Amino acid sequence: MSRVHVTTTVNGDETEFLCDPRETLLDCLRDRLNLTGAKEGCGTGDCGACSVTLDGRLVCSCLVLGVEAEGREIGTIEGVAQGDELHPLQRKFIEHAALQCGICTPGILVAAKALLEKSPDPTEEEVRYWLAGNLCRCTGYDKIIRAVMDTAAEMREAV
């Protein structure tokens, strides 16, 4: 099958890649652009391990085609820290030990960041339901929820 040329912006950098028109954005990120932070947990939009943002909107990259990235802005876990400086969410996840095997962590951080951008002062209920699309089989979620609440509080203080 002939490949399609895609020009897009990933984490602020303009990027190009060639892909099969049937290829998912997740596979393009992982296999074409070597951005392996997003993971495939299910491939059907049910686990959130592949979460990225597309023009600021939280999506499952396993449900988006690579070609749909044309001209759009993609945000992945690799762009969450600024160089060596971790995002407050990343710091709080470490501080609260909100991860175990860590494979859900990139997706959860991308999702949580999208939440805090939309809703800087979420209730715990809101956090729990927002993250209900991101499965974590290890932690039982408690430390994750606490880490997100704590980050939100810290970020509100900082502004």
Partner 1 sequence: MSTDKTVTAPVDTELRSDPPVTDRLMRADQDRSGIKGAVHTDLHHDSAIKHVTGRAEYCDDIAEPAGTLHAYLGLSTRAHARIRDLDLEAVRSAPGVVGVLTAKDIPGVNDVSPTGLNDEPVLADGKVEFWGQPIFAVIAETRDAARRAAKRASVSYEDLPHVLEPDAAREADMPYVTPPLTLKRGEAVSAMENAAHRIKGRMRVGGQDHLYLEGHIAFAIPGEDEDVIVHSSTQHPSEAQHMVAHVLGVPSNAVTVNVRRMGGGFGGKETQMNLFCAVAAVAAKKWNRAVKIRPDRDDDMSATGKRHDFVIDYEVGFDDTGRIQAVTGEFAARCGFSADLSGPVTDRALFHADNAYYYPDVLLNSHPMKTNTVSNTAFRGFGGPQGVIAAERIMEEIAYHRGVDSLEIRKRNFYGEDGRDVTPYHQTVEDNIAPRIVSELEQSADYQARRQAVLDWNAKGGIVRKGIALTPVKFGISFTATWYNQAGALLHIYSDGSIHLNHGGTEMGQGLNTKVAQVVADELQVDIDKIKITKTTTEKVPNTSATAASSGSDLNGMAARDAAIQIKDRLTAFAAERWQTEAAKVRFVANAVQIGDETVPFADFIREAYMARVQLSAAGFYKTPKIHWDRATGKGRPFYYFAYGAACSEVSVDTLTGEYRVERTDILHDVGRSLNPVIDKGQVEGAFIQGMGWLTTEELWWDDKGQLRTHAPSTYKIPLASDRPRVFNVALADWSENREQTIKRSKAVGEPPFMLGISVFEALSHAVASVADYSVCPRLDAPATPERVLMAIERLKG
CB closer to ligand FES, 137 vs 156: 137
Q: Which of 105, 115, 122, 150 binds partner 1 (CB under 8 A)?
A: 105
Distance CA 72, CA 82 (A): 21
Tokens 């809101």, residue located: 126
As a three-state string, the secondary structure of the chain is CCCEEEEEEECCEEEEEEECCCCEHHHHHHHHCCCCCCCCCCCCCCCCCCEEEECCEEEEHHHCEHHHHCCCEEECHHHCCECCECCHHHHHHHHCCCCCCCCCHHHHHHHHHHHHHHCCCCCHHHHHHHHHHCCCCCCCCHHHHHHHHHHHHHHHHHC
| Binding partner at 50 among ligand FES, partner 1, none, C-beta below 5 to 8 Å by kind | ligand FES
Q: Which of 9, 43, 68, 155 binds partner 1 (CB under 8 A)?
A: 43
**Residues forming the site for ligand FES (CB under 6 A):** 40-43, 45-50, 60, 62, 99-104, 136-139
| Binding partner at 60 among partner 1, ligand FES, none, C-beta below 5 to 8 Å by kind | ligand FES
| Binding partner at 129 among ligand FES, partner 1, none, C-beta below 5 to 8 Å by kind | partner 1
CB closer to ligand FES, 86 vs 103: 103
Q: Which of 4, 54, 67, 135 binds partner 1 (CB under 8 A)?
A: 135
Q: Is 137 in the site for partner 1 (CB under 8 A)?
A: yes
Distance CA 14, CA 8 (A): 6
| Binding partner at 134 among partner 1, ligand FES, none, C-beta below 5 to 8 Å by kind | partner 1
Q: Which residues in 64-93 contact partner 1 (CB under 8 A)? A: 76-78, 80-81, 86, 89-90, 93
